[in-house]
Every structure is written in structure tokens, then in C-alpha cells.
Amino acid sequence: MNLPPWAVAPQYGAASLAGVLPGAIGALGVDLPPLPGDPEPVRAIATAPGKAVIVILVDGLGAANLAARAGHAPFLSTLPDGALTTCYPSTTVSALGCLGTGRPPGLSGLAGYALRDPWTERVTSLIGWETSTPPAVWQPHPTYFERLAAVGRPATFIGEARFEGSAMTASSLRGARFVGVKTARQRVETALRAAEAGGLVYLYWGELDKAAHAAGWQSPKWATRLEELDGATRQLARRAGPDVRIWLTADHGVVDHGPVWDVATSPELAAGVPLTAGEPRALHLYTDQPEVVAERWRELLGEAAWIGRQEEAVGLFGGLAERVRPMVGDVVVALAGNGLVLDSRTQKPGVVKMIGHHGSLTAAEMLIPLLQLG
């Protein structure tokens, strides 16, 4: 796999999001029966075993985003950071699968925001689970929450109430006791109560990603959400007992978009590509002429993107299981800088209005923090 200098290759193991839950489980002193393909646990943060471990997943908080706006996060920005890479594509669907199962997107089947459904041959959004395929069929690997429950060590998942029983939860995070919350204060109080009982506590924090999509990560709105997160995590760290470990990480970073290409209005880009999926910074192109299409897109986009045939992109996805190959594009496109490639033939109009985007291989999107609170 020959990547350009601007690209950060995903690391699937101890230096990646895939190793976070194994590391947290190890910090509880729990030895799970191993399964083939288990990643190495993160070793970036050394910690003594604790009664409880709280893992906070902040949607859309890249290491570069946090560093650039450190003034709005005086607590978080001073903590030791064991920087990790997320998966490819650097998007929530794929990252939650990587976190929850330890398996890369090419093995979990969660290889993009939207993919070709091999059962229907149509593009399906996985974030909204527009396919009739059950989540446990699309993503069959057991989650760490299921594996903990099997050894009598249940986990708690704290998130927005709408996530309870959702297809995304069922695909990547099934097996935990779910607690729905609304406000930052409720999250802190619920996490503290769960930690008192001991075990693994997973806390999802989604406001920064929403603010980035709506207004951009450089906006006052995003800064306000970062300040809210900083204050809440400071309180959590201050009030947690000495035998509670608290880790904070993210699923991806964010860039505010620049130049835009549209497949629908470019005959050169559309030629031989009847179907596209993914998202504007990480596309899947489905075609029966992969070599021709890849070369044409390279000529048109130049240094604005890395473009490879499926066999050239296998390493980005951490391998490709045979059942996953039909889901992944015959040609894979990862945007450099902050450009986007849309396909208004199939994408929803709201995508065009979004300011913040992610999914590609830039350091801003791929590098995520791993902070130990307290």
C-alpha cells in the first residue's frame, strides 16, 4: 500500500482505537478468554488495576482539534496523552465497530457510513440502518460487552436514550446494560453511580460532532461544546474514587470543508461509476472497470486525493473478509486537505450544507487522543 506523505495509515492494535476496551478490561484485572484476531491492549497509559474503568468516547474530538482549541479545554489539554489512530474510514460507524469488537472495518463489515448492501445491491446508510439485514448478521463478531457478560462481569453503556436498542448499538455495542441520559450533568452523575458498582462503564459524548457538522469545529458553537465537555470531565475526575480509572478517547477528528466536486455534474467522474457510497471524504466507487475509473479519477483529482483499487486498499480496512468484499468499493477514494467529493445523484441534500466532515486519512481525522483523567 503506497500512501502519500499527508496520509496517516491506521494502526489496528495497541496504538489504535481497537485496543482501548481490551486495555480498559485489563485495567479491571479481568482476563477474557482470547479469540482469534484480538488486538493488543493499549499500553500508552500505564495504570494500576481499579475497581471500575470509565471509558468516555467523544464523537469528533481529534487530537489536532483539541490542541488547536486548547484554550477552551484547560483541564483536558493539560492531561498526558497517549495518542492513537482511529480506523479507516475515520467515521463513527466504522470506529464504533472497531472499539466495540476490536475488529477492523474490513472484518466487522462496518466499512463506511454507507455501503452497497450485498443482499439488495443498493446503497444503504449504516448510521440510520436502512438495510433489513439484522445487525448481528451484518456484524457477527461478539462485542467486548458480550464477552464480559459471559464471564459474569457486566458493563454499562451511558448514552442518549434514542440509542437504546438501535441497530448501531446492536451491531457494535450490544451486551451492556443501557442507561439513557440527556444532559452533561446527568452523564456525570450516572457514570459515578455506575462506577460505584464496579466494572466497565462506557460513556458516549456526541455534541462536538453535531456542532462540527452544523457550524464547523472552528466555530464558537464548537468551542462552547468543548468547554462543556471540559467542565464535566473535570467534575467527573474530581469526584471519582481513587479506585476508579477514567479514560477519554474519540472516534475521529474533523476538518471544515474546502473545495467540492460533484459526481452528478461531472461526466468525467461519473463515467463508468453507476453507484457510489461512503461519504464525501471517503468514497466507495462501484464499477466493472476499476482500473480505468481509478486512473481517470487520479487524472481529474490529482494530489487532492488518494485513489486505489480495492486490492490496493485492503490494508486500510485491516484486511477484507470474503463476506465484506462486495460491500467495499471496487475503487476507494480518500480526500487530502479539506476537499469533498459529493454525489448528488444519491446523497441527501443535507450533506451539502454540513461544514465539518471526516472519513479520510489526514492527521486531523486519523489521530485521536487517549487521556487519563485524574
In whole angstroms, what is the distance from residue 216 CA to residue 211 CA? 7
Q: Indicate the angle between helix axes 220-239 and 207-215, nearest 10 degrees.
A: 170
Give the pLDDT score at 19.
97
Query: Closest Cα partner for 95 from 140, 60, 45, 65?
Result: 60
In whole angstroms, what is the distance from residue 332 CA to residue 359 CA? 12
Query: Closest Cα partner for 232 from 181, 188, 186?
Result: 188
Other beta carbons within 10 Å of 118: 16
Other beta carbons within 10 Å of 291: 11
Give the pLDDT score at 100.
98
Other beta carbons within 10 Å of 185: 12
Per-residue pLDDT of the chain (374 residues; tens, 9 = 90+): 789 999 999 999 899 999 999 999 999 999 999 999 999 999 756 567 889 999 999 999 999 999 999 999 999 999 987 889 999 999 999 999 999 999 999 999 999 999 999 999 999 999 999 999 999 999 999 999 999 999 999 999 999 999 999 999 999 999 999 999 999 999 999 999 999 999 999 999 999 999 999 999 999 999 999 999 999 999 999 999 999 999 999 999 999 999 999 999 999 999 999 999 999 999 999 999 999 999 999 999 999 999 999 999 999 999 999 999 999 999 999 999 999 999 998 877 678 789 999 999 999 999 999 999 97
In whole angstroms, what is the distance from residue 48 CA to residue 83 CA? 20
Query: Closest Cα partner for 88 from 350, 299, 260, 329?
Result: 329
Q: How far is CA 307 from the centre of its chain?
A: 21
State the Cα angle at 367 between 248 and 89, rounded to 5°. Answer: 105
Q: Indicate the angle between helix axes 92-101 and 20-27, nearest 10 degrees.
A: 40
Burial of 138 (0-12, 13-18, 19+ CB in 10 A): buried
With cell 464535566, the residue in question is 232
In whole angstroms, what is the distance from residue 317 CA to residue 282 CA? 12
**Alpha carbon separation from 337 to 52, 153, 257 (Å, rounded):** 40, 44, 9
Give the pLDDT score at 350.
72
Query: Closest Cα partner for 99 from 301, 285, 249, 277?
Result: 249
Strands (E), the chain: 52-58, 84-85, 114-116, 123-125, 156-160, 177-181, 199-205, 244-250, 255-256, 260-262, 275-279, 282-286, 305-309, 331-335, 340-342, 356-357, 367-368, 370-373
Q: Which domains, from first to last, does the chain contain?
A: 17-256+362-373 (3.40.720.10), 260-356 (3.30.1360.180)
DSSP 191-215: HHHHHHH-EEEEEEE-HHHHHHHHH
Give the pLDDT score at 44.
59
Cis omega (within 30 of 0) for bond into 41: no
Give the pLDDT score at 352.
75
Give the pLDDT score at 45.
65
